[in-house]
Every structure is written in structure tokens, then in C-alpha cells.
Amino acid sequence: MARARSRIAGVISVFGELLITAGVLMGLFVVYSLWWTNVLADREADKQGSEVRDHWASAAPGALDTRDGIGFLHVPAMKNGEVLVKKGTDPKTLNNGVAGYYTDPVKSALPSDKQGNFSLAAHRDGHGAKFHNIHKLKTGDSIVFETKDTWYVYKVYKTLPETSKYNVDVLQPVPKESGRTKPGRYITLTTCTPVYTSTYRYVVWGELERTEKVDSARTPPAELR
């Protein structure tokens, strides 16, 4: 009887140690996913952003260069600093702490286009989490996009806190789900929701209010000062 109890106690002890080990490993995985990937992504984003600005400094004025990144997104309400925007929304792009503009299933317009929907995606958690605070955006808030030669100033006019991840209508050139029915110059921000999941999509729509030419000092528009 004593031996049986000793064996049971041993099994329970080993099982308990395994649970503790599993708990530690899960904790480390969470730390990696939600903190360390942010550190790595921010480092890479800073590096890529510096390369884009260096390229701007050495390049002559001209058409928008989409090779390394088309510009920087500034959203004061999200308090996420400047966000480099590159082509595509695949993980290889977004995991580097940047935002990407859609090439499919609905092709994004570019800010310089006379009409269309400049539609972007970025992570909400991990990998830089550039759109983590998207829920803080409200009607009337500013979204500013910076290119080599131009500041594009948008104003938020509608948010959609939850929709299907398969709802591509939010990306259409005229995003009718936002209430607009005529062509214009729109911007759409999309990310996963709820926080720490990818079940649904959170959407914010804005409309171009004005543009400003970039001066030699790159003085930001009033919305960023």
C-alpha cells in the first residue's frame, strides 16, 4: 500500500512539474509573440524607413517610387509614430512593422490618384502592432500620409468596429458600406479584431481634405504639429 501511494505521489509530482514547464513555455511564447516580435519589427521598420528617406534625399523630383516604400502614415490618435507603407499585405511585408496597401482581392488606389480608395492593412498585435490603437480613431480625426513631395491630409468620417474578414466591399474604390456613393479620394485602414485574435476585421474610412507640398524643411501640416 505504501509503495502504491509513493508511486501515485511520484506520478502526481511529475505531472505537476510538466504542467509548470508547459505554463512557463506558454508564457515565453506569449512574450515572444506580443513583445519580442514588436521589438524585432520596430528595428526592421526603422531601418527600412531610414532607407526610404535616404533614397528621397538623393532622388530627383518625379513620379511616386513604389520600390522600397511609398511613404509614411501618421495617425495622431493612434499614437504609433510614423508607419512606413509598402506594397502588398502578405505576412512577409506586414511582419516587418509596416503597413501594406492592398494589391488583391481589390487593388488599392494610390494617394496621388485622382480618385479611388487608398486601402491599407497592418497588424494589431505583435510584429510592430502598428494599428493596435485603431479603436481610438473617431469621426473628424486626422490621418496624414507623407510622400517625398506631398502631404495628404484625410479626415475620418466612418468606423466599422467589426465585419467579416471576407468582406472585401470595404476596399472598393467607392466604399458604399461607409455611406459614400460617388467616386472620391478615400483612405481605408483595416486590421484584425478583437484584440489578440484574427476573427473579424476593424475598418476605418477617411476622405481626402487637402494636400500640401512638402517644403525644404519637411514642415509637417498643422495636424501633426
What does the pLDDT read at residue 17? Answer: 52
pLDDT in tens, 154-198: 999 999 999 999 999 999 999 999 999 999 999 999 999 999 999
The angle subtended at Cα 205 by Cα 127 and Cα 155, nearest 5°, is: 105
Segment 202-214 mean pLDDT = 98
36 belongs to a structural domain: no
Residue 23: pLDDT band with limits 50, 70, 90: very low
Residue 12: pLDDT band with limits 50, 70, 90: low
CB-CB contact of 71 with 147 (8 Å): yes
Segment 45-74 mean pLDDT = 81
Segment 134-158 mean pLDDT = 98
Q: What residues act catalytically? A: 192
Residue 99: pLDDT band with limits 50, 70, 90: very high
The angle subtended at Cα 36 by Cα 48 and Cα 24, nearest 5°, is: 165
Instruction: Please report, as a single letter, which amino acid is at residue 101.
Output: Y
Instruction: Please say if the pLDDT value at position 208 is more than 80.
Output: yes
Length of the chain equals 225
Least confident of 17-31, 92-106, 205-219: 17-31
The angle subtended at Cα 124 by Cα 168 and Cα 147, nearest 5°, is: 75
Tell me the CATH number at 196: 2.40.260.10
User: Which three three-digit cell numbers place residue 112?
Assistant: 496621388
d(CA 15, CA 20): 9
27 belongs to a structural domain: no
Instruction: Please say if the pLDDT value at position 115 is more than 60.
Output: yes
Place of cell 518625379: 62
Q: What is the pTM of this model?
A: 0.83
10 belongs to a structural domain: no
**Which residues are within 8 A (CB) of 182 and not within 5 positions of it... i.e. 6 or more apart?**
174
126 belongs to a structural domain: yes
Q: What is the H or E stretch that residue 187 is in?
A: strand 185-193
d(CA 95, CA 63): 27
**Which residues are within 8 A (CB) of 66 and not within 5 positions of it... i.e. 6 or more apart?**
87, 110
Residue 16: pLDDT band with limits 50, 70, 90: very low
Residue 10: pLDDT band with limits 50, 70, 90: low
Cα pseudo-dihedral 144, 187, 203, 136, rounded to 10: 20
2 belongs to a structural domain: no
Residue 55: pLDDT band with limits 50, 70, 90: confident
Residue 61: pLDDT band with limits 50, 70, 90: low
| Tally of domains in the chain | 1
CB-CB contact of 173 with 180 (8 Å): no
Instruction: Please report, as a single letter, which amino acid is at residue 116.
Output: G
Instruction: Please say if the pLDDT value at position 114 is more than 80.
Output: yes
DSSP assignment string, 13-79: HHHHHHHHHHHHHHHHHHHIIIIIHHHHHHHHHHHHHHHHHHHHHHSPS-S---SS--EEEE-GGGT
Segment 94-107 mean pLDDT = 96
Structural domain containing residue 52: 48-224
User: Which three three-digit cell numbers place residue 71?
Assistant: 511613404
217 belongs to a structural domain: yes
140 belongs to a structural domain: yes
What does the pLDDT read at residue 57? Answer: 80
62 belongs to a structural domain: yes
